[in-house]
Amino acid sequence: MLDFSDASFANFFASELKVNIDDRKYAVNGGSKGKRLRYFLQSCDDATAVLTLTALWEHRSEHLARTGGEDPVVNAESRYHGLITRLSGRATPQAPGRSANAGPVDKQQIAKIKADLLQVTSLGPHAQGYALEGFLKGLFNAFGLAAQDPFRLKGEQIDGSFLLGTDVYLLEAKWHGQPIGVAELHTFHGKIEQKAAWTRGLFVSNSGFSEDGLVAFGRGKRVICMDGLDLYEMLDREIPLDQVLERKVRRAAETGMPFLRVRDLFPS
């Protein structure tokens, strides 16, 4: 299967997806790499399947570029994108500006999320950072963004991840007394640059970002930013999170700026 050995196949799933593909539960139909992969894709949810196929496609593309070989599969790219489209639920027409998985806003759910955020603010300084990570995971899952728990790689801590469309976003969450400066932005962006090409980043800082830090950080990075006011305003105005993130991503692509406020992206 591609250039995978048994060991590199297991390492790929462990590093990219935090999955032990050698677990016997994936060998129900046989122990080969192909059969384990097929069973995994059949048994996981659609968001995980999109994440898996995206990672495998990138690996496949790098392998073909490295070996200089011709693609043995006819119309492979269009077939791949068609599959991702179906799994992502984007096959049916949508209203402009509306996320594919966005549904009516659940007012009770929004009220609970607002209460959870207020609960975080009531905690002591040392507890707030951990509580913010948990709050954000619940927030992402409430809007169908397939959030993952924080995890530790060799030499670094990642505060979590989520899926927006077919892009994987790593999360940095801070509850500092002072606005985030350029050093922390560069540190987080360095983590993103060490990952796969499709990886993006969301930096959530309750205390915001310093103007000098944003200027020094520069434009055209793979990171978008949210502050505490964004969170409160999004919830208060009942704007779905996926719409907020998609609008931030689009404006970042258009302007190069990593941080634009919700009030500017969604003027009243």
The runs of H, that is alpha helices, within 194-240 are: 211-217, 228-236
208 and 127 in a common domain: yes
Inside any domain, residue 93: no
**Residue finishing a domain among 58, 87, 116:** 87
Which amino acid belongs to residue 148? Answer: Q
Would residue 96 count as lying in a domain? no
* Residues 31 and 59 both lie in one domain: yes
In a domain, 101, yes or no: no
Domain interval for residue 61: 6-87
Residue type, 218: G
Please answer whether residues 138 and 116 qualify as being in contact, where contact means their C-beta atoms are separated by less than 8 angstroms.
yes
For residue 204, give the nearest of 266, 122, 147, 144 by alpha carbon.
Answer: 147
Considering the domain architecture, whether residues 120 and 197 belong to the same structural domain is answered as yes
- Cβ pair 9, 33 in contact under 8 A: yes
pLDDT digit string (tens) for 163-216?
Answer: 888 788 998 988 877 899 999 999 999 989 888 777 899 999 989 999 999 999
Contact 236, 110 (CB under 8 A): no
The count of other CB atoms within 10 Å of the CB of residue 221 is 20
Among 54, 87, 120, identify where a domain stops: 87
Total domains present in the chain: 2
170 & 135 share domain: yes
Q: What single letter denotes the amino acid at residue 119? A: Q
Instruction: Give the integer Cα–Cα distance in Å for 235 and 115.
Output: 10
Cβ neighbourhood burial of 79 (10 Å; 0-12, 13-18, 19+): exposed
Q: What is the pLDDT of residues 38-64, one digit of tens each?
A: 898 888 887 788 888 888 877 777 777
Residue among 209, 2, 213 nearest 12 (CA)? 2
Distance CA(41)–CA(115), nearest Å, equals 37
Angle at 266 between CA 213 and CA 101, to 5 degrees: 100
Q: What confidence category does residue 98 fall into, taking pLDDT thresholds of 50, 70 and 90?
A: very low
